[in-house]
Copies of this chain bind each other. A is one copy, B any other.
Amino acid sequence: MANTHKVIFQPAGRRGEIEEGKTILEAAQALGVDLEALCGNKKVCGKCKVRIEEGYSEKDNLESSMSHIFPPLPSEDELKHIKPEDGPGIRLACSSEIRGDLKIFVPERSRAGKQVVRKVAREISIALDPAVKKYTLTFKPPTLHDMTTGDYERVLKALEDDYGLRGITFDFLALRTLQDALRGGNWTATFTIWMDREIIKVEPGHVDVCYGLAVDIGTTTCVGYLCDLSTGKVINTESMMNPQVPYGEDVMSRITYAMTSDTGLETMQNAIITGLNEIIEKVVTEIKKDGPHPGYEIDDLTIVFNTAMHHIFLGLNPTYIGRSPFIPAVQRSLNIKARDLGLKINPAGYIHVLPIEAGFVGADNVGVLIAQEQYFQDEMVLVIDIGTNGELLLGNKDRVCSTSCATGPAFEGAQIKFGMRAAPGAIEKVKIDPVTREPQYKVIGKADWHTHIEGKINAKGICGSGIIDVIAEMFKAGIIDKTGKFVMNLGTTRVRSGVDGKPEYVLAWAEETSINADITVTQGDVRALQLAKGALYTGAKLMMQKMGVTKLDRVELAGAFGSHIDREASLTLGMFPDVPIDKVIVVGNAAGDGAIMALINKDKRREADERARWVQFVEIATEPAFEKEFMQAMHIPHMKDKYPNLKAMLEEQKAPIASSIKG
């Protein structure tokens, strides 16, 4: 039996005996303490900060026990995240091992909250015709006359007689359960059939419900939507940071890791499979089922991702999509047995991997394509999918082109000082009075807008849509100029020098927050956003040039984690070429919608395969004009004269804020 130590977590008041050498994070998980661990214990997100309050020991005097309680100096990994302003005793829970009795305080900011399920912007209206369906059959018990007919043959005959299904086969694992299911259900059983082709599950008796999971793997974040395939409704959502982040923050660095480490591909593949299994485990808690494998209730899974994530997920060497001529291993969609990938859904079920478009444009863009259906429309539409890579689709029923541009993770709230995911406590909308520079903001989980006057409102950080909002508002209020530089001496204490000596804007004072620290927007945050939006703008502009398109009829903003982007703010920042504000539509996570649609209606899979081949990939990063355009596009707003409606908007903003709040 290993040595154990008493550990107390405050303010939750949870306590217990924890084995020596476990991390504080493991202790928190063991004791049911709510502690954020976005990155999956990889020491990269810096979100699991805790304060070591004291060591206590009944055996030793304080001094001697202290010496073995406080861990050695923080590691280099930890020091990247721990700032002087965090105060004393702060450690990353994932990195600190327990070597003695401990009292630990979990700051509000480090407490996890359940991810807010953002309702898809548009109700998905699509015929319910999933790839996986359930059929119930009742048999006459066999007699000695049936000795030469197997149970397999009995089922096939009944499927043809009762449902007109022919040529059905049995998955081998489903076959293994057939005999006992038939007899256990007193010769009534329910057969889960994939694509009217293969039986992937046999259950005794009559079973109605059937579940599928639509998965969207981003470079930075992953999300899974659990769907009830008998209604087509999304009934639960789970998300997490992509556990591959420790191996590279962007696509190219992960490809490089795969190329330079013998086990790099395998390591990253295992990381994402393990992460997805965690999502599966959590998302199925919505389904009340006993048994050792609740995930096995999921009978179908569709998945979208960019091409590099696609290759790594499948264990395909991503080297060749990272170097000229950028050839992917496979373009078409794939159906792979869950057991072959180690995913813990029904092991006889299939993982439907949506097709990719090209070496640089992946299945996530195909998801957007089949969700937004530009190919059925007359209008010239630009669809921008905002993630660590920005992906663009431009076109109409005659022609659609796609491209990809590296935005970085700023739009997702990552690499932003007080960035957080869209969970309760996140500031998601911001208005700044252009005269007083006082902000109002909306926090997820609360219905109303808040100001400083109202006192404590438990803000915790800023999510993706809040970042875009606040920086646009800062520009409109003259806090930053068009180059993104802070304007100082504005007569407000909100604009100040931060601890690093660089300017920052205080969005919420410590007393309004639940983290007892001022929530600020820093010069670094502004720069990160400028880089991201500049990349998007440049991509869209060059694409229009290449296609000879001069005017956009509509812009659709998509993205899993910045999905509530304010369209005014996006115009203010100059995220894309000009278009009337009522023609900017925020569509939510269209890539995820595409995955959900392919789950709910199998014809969407065929459509995805056809359209993924039909769409034309254009390469813009190699355009000679790229660099010059990009430098210009960093400005806010880019070429101000091109925004006739921004001017009017800015005028309008000068009216008292109160009048526009409920809008």
Contact = CB atoms under 8 A, between A and B. Distances in A.
Contact of A153 (B179, B325, B326, B332): B332
Contacts of A324: 144
A253 B611 CA distance: 59
Given A317-B180, A320-B179, A328 B150 contact: yes
Interface string A436-457: 0000000000000000000000
Q: Which of A150, A175, A339, A617 gathers most chain B CB within 10 Å?
A: A150
Contacts of A359: 147-148
B317 A151 contact: no
Given A148-B357, A340-B172, A178 B329 contact: yes
A315 interface: yes
Given A175-B329, A176-B315, A148 B336 contact: no
B325 A146 contact: yes
Interface string A140-158: 0011111111111100000
Given A179-B317, A317-B179, A320-B179, A328 B151 contact: yes
Nearest to A171: B340
Interface string A176-198: 10111001000000000000000
A314 interface: yes
A327 B141 CA distance: 11
Interface in A294-324: 314-317, 319-320, 324
A356 B149 CA distance: 10
A363 to B, nearest CB: 12
B142 A325 contact: yes
A318 to B, nearest CB: 9
Contact of A148 (B142, B337, B617): B617
Contacts of A319: 179
Interface residues of A, number: 49
A623 to B, nearest CB: 14
Contacts of A357: 148
Contacts of A336: 172
A650 interface: no
A330 interface: yes
A488 B575 CA distance: 109
Contacts of A340: 172-173, 339
Nearest to A143: B325
Given A147-B358, A148-B358, A179-B317, A153 B617 contact: no
A475 B360 CA distance: 84
A333 to B, nearest CB: 11
A151 B315 contact: no
A260 to B, nearest CB: 16
Given A172-B340, A179-B316, A147 B330 contact: no
Contacts of A178: 329
B179 A147 contact: no
A77 to B, nearest CB: 33
A360 B329 CA distance: 48
B331 A153 contact: yes
B146 A327 contact: yes
A529 to B, nearest CB: 31
Nearest to A622: B144
A127 interface: no
A55 B328 CA distance: 67
A331 B149 CA distance: 6
Interface in A605-635: 613, 617, 619
B152 A331 contact: yes
Contact of A176 (B144, B147, B170, B314): B314
A327 B147 contact: yes
A339 B180 CA distance: 24
A326 B144 contact: yes
A334 interface: yes
Contact of A325 (B147, B176, B325, B328): B147
Nearest to A151: B329
A179 B148 contact: no
A273 to B, nearest CB: 14
Contact of A331 (B148, B317, B332, B358): B148
A319 B5 CA distance: 52
Contact of A142 (B144, B327, B332): B327
Contact of A330 (B151, B173, B314, B317): B151
Contacts of A146: 325, 327
Contacts of A149: 327, 331
A636 to B, nearest CB: 34
A329 B172 CA distance: 12
Nearest to A154: B327
A150 B339 CA distance: 25
Contacts of A328: 150-151
Q: Which of A142, A144, A360 gathers most chain B CB within 10 Å?
A: A144
A150 B329 contact: yes
Contacts of A175: 314, 316, 329-330, 334
A465 to B, nearest CB: 33
Contacts of A316: 175-176, 179
A331 B180 CA distance: 17
Contacts of A151: 327-330
Contacts of A315: 176
Contacts of A330: 150-153, 170, 175
Nearest to A617: B148
A145 B148 CA distance: 58
Q: Which of A144, A175, A179, A327 gathers most chain B CB within 10 Å?
A: A327
Q: Which of A324, A332, A356, A360 gathers most chain B CB within 10 Å?
A: A332
Given A143-B325, A147-B327, A150-B331, 19 more contacts: A144-B325, A146-B327, A147-B325, A147-B326, A147-B358, A147-B359, A147-B360, A148-B617, A150-B327, A150-B328, A150-B329, A151-B327, A152-B330, A170-B330, A172-B336, A175-B316, A175-B329, A179-B317, A183-B320
10 contacts: A144-B324, A148-B331, A148-B357, A150-B328, A150-B330, A172-B336, A175-B330, A178-B329, A179-B317, A179-B329
